[in-house]
Amino acid sequence: MTLVFVVGRLVGIVLLLLVIASVLLIGRERIAETRREFRTRFASIAPYVGLLAIVLVANKIARDIGPDLSLIIGFRITGRLHSLDGMLLWPLFPDQTPQVVVWLQSMATPELTAYFAFIYVYGYVFLLVFPLVAYLALPQPEPLRRTLVAYGANYIIGVLCYIIFIAYGPRNIIVDHAEGLLYSQYAQYQFVTTAVNDETNVFPSLHTSMAVTAALLAWTTRDEYPLWVPISAVLAVSVVISTMYLGIHWASDVIFGIALAWISVSIGTRLENRPPKFERTKRRVSTVINSIVTPLR
Amino acid sequence: MNAGPSRRRRAVLAGAAGAIAATSGCVGEIRNLVGRSRTSQLSLTIATLPAGDDPYAVRIANRLADNLQAAGIETLVDAIRPDVLLRDILVNHDFDLYVARYPSQGDPDEIRSMLYSAYAEEAGWQNPFGFSNLSFDELLDEQRIVEDERRIEVVHEIQREIVREQPFTVVCYPDHINAVRTDRFDRWPRGGLNAAVDYLQLDRVDSETTLQLLLRNSRITRNRNPIAAEYRDQGYLIDLLYDSLLRFPPDAVAPINWLAETVSWGDGSTLSATIQLRETSWHDGEPVTADDVAFTYEFLRDSSLGEFDSPVPTPWRRGRLSLIDTVSVLSDRELRITFTTDNRSVAYRPLVVPILPEHIWRDRAVAADLAGVDIVGQTTEALITSNEAAVGSGPFRFVDAATDESLSIETFPDHFVYREQPDDIPSRFAGDPPFDRIEFTVVPSHDAAVQVLLDNDADSTADGLQASVVPRVVRANDLSLRIRPANSFYHIGYNARRSPMTDPNFRRIVSRHIDRTSIVSESLSGYGSPSQVPLTGRWVPEDLQWDGEASLPFFGTDGEIDPEQAREAFREAGYQYDGDTLIRRGDS
């Protein structure tokens, strides 16, 4: 029940944001043009959409079996992340270095918590979906291709890391000092996040990498959408801070998330003019999946 | 605990030494020097559960880690999912220290299972520490055969020895906390649902016939094997599906007859009991017979049924089984059990283990393999099966489950407890069932559980709540709070197979790095009681009752450690320091 309600509200609010942003940023002219050229535009990105679809299906499978597989072959790094997190602020506080998450939460106010919770859930989804709409409204196919590849790369690399590294976030570890603010204050969101994710999927932060990816992509389309650059930058920075402020990620997850975003965007830029060889990828992916899934059945 | 760098350093040193030796000639002295291992900081890992699975364990582990760190020991906290943690500790014995809850029922004989030397090699909740001590063994054996009065004295002696030797360090007893809605069902017990019989005493208020419960711990949705040590620790849920000869309701002073209709204790030289079974059936329709009971006791003692060279005992309730000497079947519904103790208040213990259907479990007495290869050895199918479609004879039967999401069970109408006035079963449990179905839904956190209760989508939680949500429950008009003290306790376990945890002095000093009072008041928000010994009430001698300070007192005040005191204690016990770090020689 709660899940349906929360997802319904999520869809509603994100749609509302999309409509407002489309009117303000894309403009009526582009939208009208897109409606006329919809077929040709879609045809020029079709292989990329196919690729993303395969990635998402593979991702779904990997996430279902991932946690169990990960416990068999993965490395447990929670303790390392925890101690690393206690050293990062050393330049600022050489005497008594606080944990990054604890330091951020020491500045918490109810308003900030409400803001970051909103950003973490709604702002994030909007930040990821809007580029898809905005780039479809452009006559050239490259930005959308770039975006699809970059998103796919994030997921593939992210999920592989989740299988290799087993880690719990701050809210599960340093509970005496850092609260899982999102889940204690807005427990309803947890039904959504647990439905799409396992709590050991922490390193790296996919929230960070996807949000930063969207912001980096915005810079590549600064000529077409100049206003989207500052908006996406503010949103991305807010998402990045929210992951730590809400006690969900360690600072190391965030740093690696940013690196992953940069890698994904480079991959996206490299592949935007050369549609990947579909058949081979498909065969490879299915061989890998089969070899993983068959013995587990 | 890494050999790499020190080896490399040694190689460099050896190279340098060779060069010097060639010029100076005093080879012997140099060989003596480089032949020694380098010293390095002692580093320990504390295994525990993430806060999502156990709200308190990781808090205790963090405090201990911080304080040990202050004393110069590099300490990491490694949190991991419960089934993995228990496999590491109980089966693989792969840990330095751990912080977890011991699933105690409050009987002193449990201490024997925890510490008995002969159990150190076995997998399960029996001596996971690898502790061995002959005088302990004698006391542990003695407490189970002597008369009640003498038993109390022996147990007091054991308690004093535990405080002295610190084979494990008891930290505190957390309270059972629960929230219930009373608009559909009432007569909720104190502390909420904590035992299978608690379900039977509920009363229906209106027409609703499905009881909706929330679960935080989702292990029962993955695995319903009554003897899998990784999955059964806190939980009583398996007892809804499986019956035992006797049951021990939470507030009762003595066990009540359950599957056993009558128990007549014999007068012979060794204690024996003749047990008449009730007429009832397994959930698949087969009758429950004395053969099933005899099979269960044989099977739990050796789940390979003699197939393996050495027996593979149950990893769970092992100590209890050793109280049974022989089981003989007299007729279809009658059997005679002889015990290895003469004390009836100990002898009941093996009679409360779940009885398994022979026609299902006999086939599981084979070596567990992966695609036909026996990869681990000394493990039977019975220990690793997830027993999804559990067939028991309990008051409820399994309907279906979705892993990590939900579990449905329904009342088993043929069960004797629903008959008109079954003999010897208290009337509050007997008679028409208050509901005909129970739906358990897994929730992602205790905060989420309270939210669902407030939304009126559930009646209570099946595995309790953490202290941090109490204020929300108190504020809500529709929810009522249920609290009772628990038998299970948090403890620090030491792997006595590994140095330096082999050293009682080391363990004693580590135990002085936790301030029990501040743990209970801060980490448990006051919902618990500090303790330095396992067991409560009459089993605790006067001098070990909690009076605000442990016999091995905390190094510091109000939770704040005084590192100098701690380091001084380690130094006195013979440990060496380089500046503020505790160092040891070799690769340990």
Distance separating alpha carbons of residues B147 and B151, to the nearest angstrom: 6
Distance separating alpha carbons of residues B128 and B103, to the nearest angstrom: 13
- Kindly report the nearest CA distance between residue A187 and chain B, in angstroms: 5
B515: part of which helix (H) or strand (E)? Answer: none
Is the per-residue pLDDT at A190 higher than 70? Answer: yes
Going from the C-alpha of B467 to that of each of A133, B217, B569, the distances in angstroms are: 46, 16, 35
**B447 inside 8 A of chain A by CB:** yes
B-chain residues near A193 (CB < 8 A): 444
A-chain residues near B81 (CB < 8 A): 71, 200
Strands (E), B284-352: 324-331, 334-339
Chain A to chain B Cβ contacts (< 8 Å)? 79
Interface contact A173-B58, CB threshold 8 A: yes
The residues with which B46 forms a beta bridge, in sequence order, are: B77, B97
B-chain residues near A172 (CB < 8 A): 50-52, 58, 79
Q: CB-CB: which of B79, B371, B447 is closest to A187?
A: B447
B-chain residues near A184 (CB < 8 A): 447, 468
How many CB atoms within 10 Å of residue A2?
18
Closest chain B CA to residue A80: B76
B461: part of which helix (H) or strand (E)? Answer: strand B460-461
Interface contact B444-A191, CB threshold 8 A: yes
Q: CB-CB: which of A168, A184, A188 is closest to B79?
A: A168
Q: CB-CB: which of B63, B78, B455 is closest to A78?
A: B78
Interface contact A71-B452, CB threshold 8 A: no
**Residue among A288, A191, A198 nearest B442 (CA):** A191
Distance separating alpha carbons of residues B192 and B464, to the nearest angstrom: 7
Interface contact B447-A184, CB threshold 8 A: yes
Q: Which residue has the tokens 């739990």?
A: B300
A-chain residues near B62 (CB < 8 A): 173-176
A-chain residues near B55 (CB < 8 A): 175
Torsion of CA B304, B307, B313, B315, to 10 degrees: -50
* ipTM, two decimals: 0.81
At A199 the pLDDT is 77
Which CATH number does the domain B41-174+487-585 belong to among 3.10.105, 3.10.50, 3.40.50, 1.10.287? 3.10.105
* A146 DSSP 8-state letter: H
Closest chain A CA to residue B52: A172
**B81 inside 8 A of chain A by CB:** yes
Going from the C-alpha of B170 to that of each of B24, B101, B307, the distances in angstroms are: 58, 10, 39
Count CA atoms within 13 Å of residue B359 on its CB side: 13
Interface contact A76-B447, CB threshold 8 A: no
Interface contact A168-B62, CB threshold 8 A: no
Contact B395, B412 (CB under 8 A): yes
A-chain residues near B59 (CB < 8 A): 175-176
Interface contact A187-B445, CB threshold 8 A: yes
Tell me the pairing of strands B43-48 and B97-102. parallel
- Kindly report the nearest CA distance between residue A224 and chain B, in angstroms: 43
Three-state SS for A5-63 is HHHHHHHHHHHHHHHHHHHHHHCHHHHHHHHHHHHHHHHHHHHHHHHHHHHHHHHHHHH
Distance separating alpha carbons of residues B456 and B468, to the nearest angstrom: 21
Contact B187, B201 (CB under 8 A): yes
Confidence tier at A195 by pLDDT (50, 70, 90): low
Long-range contacts of B564-573 (CB under 8 A, 24+ apart): B566/B67, B566/B70, B566/B71, B566/B509, B566/B512, B566/B513, B567/B71, B567/B72, B569/B509, B569/B512, B570/B71, B570/B72, B570/B506, B570/B509, B573/B503, B573/B505, B573/B506, B573/B509
Contact A218, A131 (CB under 8 A): yes
Distance separating alpha carbons of residues B299 and B296, to the nearest angstrom: 5
Task: Name the token pair of B326.
Answer: 């022989």
A-chain residues near B447 (CB < 8 A): 183-184, 187, 190
B69: part of which helix (H) or strand (E)? Answer: helix B57-70
How many CB atoms within 10 Å of residue B408?
16
**Residue among B270, B444, B237, B268 nearest B343 (CA):** B270
- Express each pLDDT in A270-279 by its tens digit: 887 766 555 6
- DSSP per residue over B350-413, as a string? GGGSBP--HHHHGGG-SB--BTTB--SSS-BHHHH---SS----SSEEEEEEETTTEEEEEE-T
B-chain residues near A175 (CB < 8 A): 51, 55, 58-59, 62
Distance separating alpha carbons of residues A132 and A144, to the nearest angstrom: 6
B-chain residues near A188 (CB < 8 A): 448, 451
Tell me the pairing of strands B168-181 and B437-442. unpaired
Please provide residue B410's backbone torsions phi and psi, each rounded to the nearest 5 degrees. -130, 165
Contact B465, B446 (CB under 8 A): yes
Interface contact B51-A175, CB threshold 8 A: yes
Going from the C-alpha of B269 to that of each of B142, B339, B340, the distances in angstroms are: 18, 11, 11
pLDDT tens for each residue of chain B, 588 residues long:
444 445 555 555 555 555 555 555 567 777 777 777 778 899 999 999 998 888 899 999 999 999 999 999 999 999 988 888 988 998 889 999 999 998 888 889 999 999 999 888 888 888 999 999 999 999 999 999 898 899 999 999 999 999 999 999 999 999 999 999 999 999 998 888 988 999 999 988 888 899 999 998 888 898 899 888 777 766 789 999 999 999 988 888 889 999 999 999 987 778 999 999 999 999 999 999 999 999 999 998 888 888 888 888 887 778 888 899 999 999 999 999 999 988 888 899 999 999 999 999 998 888 877 666 666 677 888 888 888 889 999 999 999 999 888 999 999 998 999 887 777 888 888 888 889 999 999 988 888 899 899 989 999 999 889 998 999 999 988 899 999 998 889 999 999 999 899 999 999 999 999 999 999 999 999 999 999 999 888 999 999 999 988 999 999 998 899 999 999 999 999 999 998 899 987 654
3-class DSSP state for residue B558?
coil
Interface contact B81-A71, CB threshold 8 A: yes
- Kindly report the nearest CA distance between residue A128 and chain B, in angstroms: 25
Query: What is the residue range of A282's domain?
Result: 2-296
Closest chain A CA to residue B525: A176
Number of domains chain A is built from: 1
**Mutate which of A5, A171, A172 to disrupt the B interface (most B C-beta within 10 Å)?**
A172
3-class DSSP state for residue B347?
helix
Q: Which residue has the tokens 């690793």?
A: B384
For the domain B243-386, what is the CATH superfamily, name and number? Dipeptide-binding Protein; Domain 1 (3.90.76.10)
Contact B223, B216 (CB under 8 A): no
B-chain residues near A182 (CB < 8 A): none
How many CB atoms within 10 Å of residue B265?
12
Confidence tier at A96 by pLDDT (50, 70, 90): confident
